[in-house]
């Protein structure tokens, strides 16, 4: 990199992102390097017990990533950060999930598509950035039962507080909308009009 001034590199990368439209898929880690990824569909540690992706890259629409960046910037000041379980999901994977678990409360019908297929939804939690420890949210990701819902209150006070904290950060700082049945799922509102995609991740 000798001979190429660092500030020019910064200018160049900000120029590149300024050319990116909000509905374009981008790599989350490129914009938020310290975000933690635990892509569950890239492992067998998920409700279908199958590895559905072979990638360890998380993609989301640029608009959604800008919202997440605002959340991460606020959390970092507290020694906390976001951990993503799933972001953009190719539509072919949606068909597969639907075949295994055709329950529209927990898996969007691929005929109309999930906001995950548009890069406009994200599944996530909060972790301690130095220890990697997750805040206790009462259930695991993809726990399909009433206990995972925002209106379920028969939980220890710290769990309710952690859920409320994630919700307020995502809503008020990131501009996301929570999903009633899943504490981990957040929609980026403009994402509803983004195109359904079947771009396969390598």
Q: Which is nearer to Zn ion, 163 or 185 (CB)?
A: 185
Residues with Cβ within 8 Å of 53's Cβ and at least 6 positions away in sequence, in order, are 39, 41, 42, 93, 201
Residue 95 to residues 83, 89, 113, Cα–Cα distance (Å): 25, 11, 9
How far apart (Å, rounded) are the C-alpha atoms in residues 120 and 23? 8
**Residue 187 near Zn ion by CB under 5 A:** no
Q: Which of 123, 126, 142, 148 binds Zn ion (CB under 5 A)?
A: 123
Q: Which is nearer to Zn ion, 14 or 180 (CB)?
A: 180
Closest approach of Zn ion to the CB of residue 182, in Å = 6
Residue number, nearest CB to Zn ion: 185
- Alpha carbon dihedral 66, 70, 71, 76, in 10-degree steps, equals 130
Active site members: 182
How far apart (Å, rounded) are the C-alpha atoms in residues 75 and 39? 21
How far apart (Å, rounded) are the C-alpha atoms in residues 134 and 141? 11
Within 10 Å of residue 108's Cβ, how many Cβ atoms?
A: 18
Q: Which is nearer to Zn ion, 66 or 115 (CB)?
A: 115
What does residue 81 show for φ and ψ, rounded to 5 degrees? Answer: -160, 175
**Residue 40 near Zn ion by CB under 5 A:** no
Q: Which is nearer to Zn ion, 79 or 146 (CB)?
A: 146
Stretch that binds Zn ion, among 32-40, 47-55, 121-129, 130-138 (CB under 5 A): 121-129
Between residue 14 and residue 33, which ones bind Zn ion under the rule CB under 5 A?
A: none
Stretch that binds Zn ion, among 26-34, 69-77, 136-144, 185-193 (CB under 5 A): 185-193
185 has which bridge partners? 123
Stretch that binds Zn ion, among 57-65, 73-81, 148-156, 182-190 (CB under 5 A): 182-190
* Residues found near Zn ion in the complex (CB under 5 A): 123, 185
């Amino acid at each position: 990199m000798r001979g190429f001034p660092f500030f020019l590199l910064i200018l160049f990368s900000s120029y590149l992102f300024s050319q990116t439209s909000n509905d374009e898929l981008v790599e989350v880690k490129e914009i938020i390097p310290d975000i933690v990824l635990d892509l569950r569909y890239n492992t067998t540690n998920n409700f279908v017990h199958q590895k559905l992706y072979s990638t360890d890259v998380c993609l989301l629409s640029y608009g959604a990533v800008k919202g997440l960046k605002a959340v991460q910037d606020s959390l970092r000041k507290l020694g906390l950060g976001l951990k993503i379980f799933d972001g953009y999901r190719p539509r072919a994977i949606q068909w597969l999930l639907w075949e295994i678990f055709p329950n529209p409360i927990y898996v969007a019908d691929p005929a109309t598509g999930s906001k995950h297929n548009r890069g406009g939804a994200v599944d996530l939690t909060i972790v301690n950035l130095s220890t990697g420890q997750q805040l206790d949210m009462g259930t695991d990701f993809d726990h399909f039962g009433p206990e995972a819902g925002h209106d379920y209150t028969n939980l220890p006070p710290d769990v309710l507080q952690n859920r409320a904290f994630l919700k307020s950060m995502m809503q008020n700082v990131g501009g996301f909308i929570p999903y009633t049945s899943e504490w981990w799922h957040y929609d980026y509102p403009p994402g509803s009009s983004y195109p359904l995609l079947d771009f396969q991740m390598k």
